[in-house]
A and B are shown apart, each in its own frame.
Chain A
């Protein structure tokens, strides 16, 4: 177990103009489960490969425990990686796959056997030990890949989209299993995914990346409640947050746009002090929108009115898309709404849950949590 420090790490590929990873700065806690998430091509895999030692670091320093691992080859970094493709050795049995690293270290036979059996038991694959990878299902292969990583008892686990080749049900199952495994072993883990649900459910801290840059590093809830910019706000949460271009009306202290008018909170007033009379982005999550009915009509003066364009009943909830002025607003409503396509609809939202972003920079205008800032200095002193 170890603290991993990535100090201002950059990666530029030969021939690539922009940095694939740009000033990546992160210090993990001991035994932390860190999830890297972001759209395709944002540099998640590259970051992992640099930690693993499969890719050279162009600039910056990488510390694992109390060692600067610059120049230390991958095999001496004491890390284990689980590949997206599993990368099992096809000509070896499951047992041999798992024993390979220990065999190379010339550990005594009895110790190897014990380590493999223990790992197999943790993962429930004792009955598969003599099979070749070809004779395994995707989920079983994934377990073997995990097993190969845990027999080594490394200081750090790296997992690059380990579940992306599994079906939805298997994915949920393995997700829970990996979390359990992490709790049991307490090994510092980096986990890459582009699935924000996976990130939210598994990560103790989540690193949201885009185009090689870190957007925000935060705990799942903080990320959901206090996104630092529109990208993070839109990326975390399904369905995505709605963004409305709104004018800050000085006289009425309201956010106004075509088809909607929302009252400002106290907290918003300070945030918007410099934006009076100008345009901002107002962000509201679909789950924080409600239908205005006769029952609650008097209780709210936040109104978004328009016509219903799409209705998607999901059983537990119904997703409705309403055209409000030039915007399409997605709302997550009760499953028994009586709305039909083309109906006029009025939505209401809770001003407390409103997000505000600068129109130009797309950065949040609200307060962010300390850990949400790009520097993570506070994490260094904390241990889990």
Chain B
């Protein structure tokens, strides 16, 4: 090149420009993510109880040691994993089934039905919890109790007998529409002639679904799974309202455990240590998912 200097200054300008463009986002991220994260990590190593705020000092790893040996914490982690996995399976399967039904031209009034089917997603988590706790699952005047009585069974107190399963049910009810809507969008984007070609090639309904439709849902399935995982890891409102994590720790997940540490035991140190664990758990899941998705997308293109 005749003017290497000019070239270089041009590159520098370009770099400056991109820095200027990325800058605000970076600052925003720093303030809203890095600072709270750093403070959480900091407090997890401090003695800090709101009841005895005058007791201060370095706690070392004692906060971590305490919660690791806390059976409620172990239960919280296990419950979180059970909750995330079962809700994922339920929402994706049921959502997909609904999407297939509503994608069919022969379903009468599908627009109206689709609106109804989507509505749980637009209800606030706390309202959802209340709705289920009182209207649906209440053993004396809930809808399910009435149903059971009509069938001649004595009503089960779902929230106290099968608390975790109830929470899973509530959350799946709320999140199935999300899976349905996303999958429906990509189902209806699959051109009809490809399915017809498969039909002429000799594929039955199941084979068409398995070999033609499902592979093309890949990306949106992964998107649904990733987003839902992130949201299911931080489920709080429904549990708070419906079961308060109980009975005992039967429906306590990690966020609820952290909440209890902070606002019931007022132990900010332990809560922060729990939060650090939650972050680690979320990151493990996230890395795992991102790997899976990028591999999937690479194969696609």
A residues contacting B by CB (< 8 A) are 52-54, 74-75, 79-81, 83, 85, 87-91, 100-101, 104-105, 148, 152
Asked if B216 and A74 make an inter-chain contact with CB atoms under 8 angstroms apart, the answer reads no
The count of chain B contact residues (Cβ–Cβ below 8 Å) is 19
- A372, B14: Cα distance in complex, Å: 73
B197 at the interface (CB under 8 A from A): yes
Are B300 and A101 closer than 8 Å at their CB atoms?
no
Asked if B194 CB lies within 8 Å of chain A CBs, one says yes
CB–CB A89/B193 < 8 A: no
Q: Chain A: which residue is nearest B204 at the CB level?
A: A75
Q: Which of A54, A83, A85, A91 contacts B300 (CB 8 A)?
A: A91
The CA-CA distance from A380 to B198 in the complex, in Å, is: 32
Provided the pairs A52-B200, A105-B202 are in contact, do residues A100 and B211 lie with their beta carbons within 8 angstroms? Answer: yes
Measured in the bound complex, the distance between the Cα atoms of B115 and A174 in whole Å is 48
Partner of A104, one of B193, B203, B216: B203
Are B212 and A81 in contact (CB-based, < 8 A)? no
Q: What is the bound-complex CA distance between A105 and B300, given in angstroms?
A: 26
Q: Is the CB of B216 within 8 A of A85?
A: no
Q: How far is the CB of B31 from chain A (nearest CB, A)?
A: 42
**Are A87's CB and B191's CB within 8 A?**
yes
Bound: A44/B100 CA distance, A:
31
CA–CA, A52 and B207, complex, Å: 19
Given A90-B216, A91-B216, A85-B202 contact (CB < 8 Å): no
Q: Is the CB of A85 within 8 A of B191?
A: yes
A87 in complex: contacting residue of B196, B202, B204, B215, CB < 8 Å: B196
Q: If the complex has contacts A89-B212, A104-B207, are A83 and B197 also in contact, measured as CB distance less than 8 A?
A: yes
Most buried by B among A74, A80, A91: A91
Whether A100 lies near B200 (C-beta < 8 A) is no
Binary interface profile of B, 179-204, with partner A (CB < 8 Å = 1, else 0)? 00000000000010110111111111
Nearest Cβ on chain A to B212's Cβ, whole angstroms: 6
Q: Please pick, from A54, A75, A81, A91, the residue contacting B202 in the complex, using a CB distance under 8 A.
A: A75
Cβ-closest chain A residue relative to B215: A91
Q: CB within 8 Å of A: which residues of B?
A: 191, 193-194, 196-204, 207, 211-212, 215-216, 218, 300
Q: Chain B at the A interface: mostly helix, strand, loop or mixed?
A: helix
Quick one: closest B residue to A53, CB to CB? Answer: B200
A83, B216: Cβ atoms closer than 8 Å: no
Using A89-B212, A90-B216, A91-B300 as known contacts, say yes or no to A104 and B196 having CB atoms under 8 A apart: no
Instruction: Decide: B215 and A104 in contact? CB cutoff 8 A.
Output: no
Give 17 A-B pairs besides A53-B200, A100-B211 with Cβ atoms closer than 8 angstroms.
A52-B200, A54-B199, A54-B200, A74-B200, A75-B202, A81-B196, A83-B193, A87-B191, A87-B197, A88-B194, A89-B198, A91-B218, A91-B300, A101-B202, A104-B203, A105-B202, A152-B201
Residues of B within 8 A of A148 (CB): 197, 201
Q: How far is the CB of B82 from chain A (nearest CB, A)?
A: 33
Residues of chain B contacted by A152 (CB below 8 angstroms): 201
Do B201 and A100 have beta carbons less than 8 Å apart?
A: yes
Q: Report the minimal beta-carbon distance from A164 to chain B, rounded to whole angstroms.
A: 14
Task: Write out the residue numbers on chain B whose beta carbons fall within 8 Å of the beta carbon of A91.
Answer: 215-216, 218, 300
Q: Name 13 interchain pairs, CB-CB below 8 A, sorted by A.
A: A54-B196, A75-B204, A81-B200, A83-B193, A83-B197, A85-B191, A85-B193, A87-B191, A89-B198, A89-B211, A89-B212, A100-B201, A104-B202
Instruction: Considering the complex, give the chain A residue whose CB is closest to the CB of B208.
Output: A104
Enumerate chain A residues within 8 angstroms of B202, measured Cβ to Cβ: 75, 101, 104-105
CB distance from B73 to the nearest CB of A (A): 44
Query: Closest A-chain residue to B195, C-beta based?
Result: A87
Is the pair A101, B193 in contact by a Cβ cutoff of 8 Å?
no
Q: Which residue of A lies closest to B300 (CB)?
A: A91
Q: A53–B300 Cα gap in the complex (Å)?
A: 32
Chain A, residue nearest B199 (CB): A74
Q: How far is the CA of A148 from the CA of B56 in the complex (A)?
A: 76
Closest to B197 in A: A87
9 cross-chain pairs, A with B, having the tightest CB-CB distances, nearest first = A101-B201, A75-B202, A87-B197, A87-B193, A91-B215, A104-B202, A87-B194, A83-B193, A74-B200
